[in-house]
Amino acid sequence: MVAPPRDAALPSLAGAAWVSAPPVRRVFAALGGGDAETRIIGGAVRDSLAGRPVGDIDFATTALPGEVTAKAARAGIKAVPTGIEHGTVTLVADGIPFQVTTLREDVATDGRHAVVRFGRDWTADARRRDFTVNALSVDSSGSVHDPLGGYPDILSHRIRFIGDPDHRIAEDRLRILRFFRFNAEFGDGAIDGAGLGAAIRARDGLRTLSAERIGQEMRRIILAPRAAAMLGLMQDCGILPIILAGVACLGPFARYLEFERRVEARPSLALRLAAAACRVEEDVERLSDRLRLSNVERERARAALAAMTEVPAASDEQAALRLLYALGEGGEAVFRGAVALDFAWSETDDAEGHVGLYRLPDRRSRPRFPLRGRDVLGAGAPHGPAIGEVLHALEAWWVDHNFVPDETELRARLQQMIAAVQ
């Protein structure tokens, strides 16, 4: 293990805007006093030191949960016992929620859950965390504390387990996926060999984890900057087939990411998953069960795959416009997803042709069929099912003529159709 740097060598976060934010100062002030010590711990510290945006801010404290609740009440801060059995109380200051957890030591673990006891030893609490980069903390003065040498790993973008990787994973097998997720989000260069070896040895333990927990980690891996590299490594290590209950399609996934960058599309979990693991619509149901996709995610992947089979050649803009029309109002997102997946699964080198198709909705509005059922009735058609049948046939004729006939021509055609059936 890399020796921890001297405290003097650590930067100060006293000037960081997130440390000096009023809600954060309120929590520090509320929990201060007496012999209790409170610090911000984990991801916020890591991301700030790495120059990344800071998200959720979590606190750790030597105060017991009851003390935290009482001190918050005296300061006028709402306290919610969100994880009281594990020592976690959520404090809501100025409308912002902050998790506050009493320092802990693991008593026993079964690979999914841990039995803990409360403590006052900051280094002992740090040792029960997963990676060195997550074990730093910052106190109310902005001083950074690094008991396990995480700061050099932050500077090197290196993800290392704290202590023995096999032991860390045995405590919680989800750490296998967290290892790949942090490498995908934060790592750079070669992956830590000791951690990778431990992940491979423990991979069968992933079968005991809930689909919800696995799905949460896989979402972040799929959307991470190094997603392609990590999925490839997970496949080579025999981990991804366990997660997906099948082999991932790494070539199409890489092509999809390339296309996503070309068109500057916002990363889509549903479409990335479709490119990585779904060749046909039926695959979406399997993946949805494995990763507990939401209804919206499942439908977006399914609709894009269904429309993918109808994507025309890049040079046939009229056929592409017909597909856009067939997808209905609001079908632009499905159309774009279908084009992106078609490029991912194709072997064409004509990326620019697909880019042109993808941007078709920017150039051409979805055509609007100008007639309605009342127009058919007004033209002399009898009441009943015939109205819908005539209207549908007229619309199909209009589509076949590439949306060119205007309303006058459509009404003339309508008269001819009604006359033919009377």
More confident residue, 132 or 369: 132
Kindly report, residue by residue over 220-274, the tens digit of the pLDDT. 999 999 999 999 999 999 999 999 988 899 999 999 999 999 999 999 999 999 9
Predicted local confidence at residue 6, as pLDDT = 41
Predicted local confidence at residue 5, as pLDDT = 43
Chain centroid, CA 45 distance in Å: 22
Give the pTM.
0.85
* Residue at 151: amino acid letter: Y
Residue 228 neighbours by CB under 8 Å, 6+ apart: 250, 253, 254, 257
Please tell me the distance from the alpha carbon of residue 138 to that of residue 12, in angstroms, as a whole number.
Answer: 9
Give the 3-state secondary structure of residue 118.
strand
Residue 55 neighbours by CB under 8 Å, 6+ apart: 43, 44, 47
Task: Say how many CA atoms lie within 13 Å of 364 toward its Cβ.
Answer: 19
Predicted local confidence at residue 116, as pLDDT = 67
Domain ranges of the chain: 7-156, 249-363, 373-421
Beta bridge partners of 116: 106
* Residue at 241: amino acid letter: P
Domain 7-156: which CATH class?
A: alpha beta
From the list 156, 227, 241, 221, the residue with the least C-alpha distance to 192 is: 156
Please tell me the distance from the alpha carbon of residue 133 to that of residue 47, in angstroms, as a whole number.
Answer: 9
Strand pairing category for 137-138 and 144-145: antiparallel
* Residue at 25: amino acid letter: R
Number of residues written out for the chain:
422
User: Contact 331/366 with Cβ under 8 angstroms?
Assistant: yes
Handedness of CA 178, 181, 183, 187 (dihedral sign): negative
From the CA atom positions of the chain, what is the Rg in Å? 29
Q: Is the pLDDT of residue 87 over 50?
A: yes
Local confidence band at 113 (pLDDT 50, 70, 90 cut-offs): low
Residue 316 neighbours by CB under 8 Å, 6+ apart: none
Local confidence band at 51 (pLDDT 50, 70, 90 cut-offs): very high
Give the 3-state secondary structure of residue 102.
strand
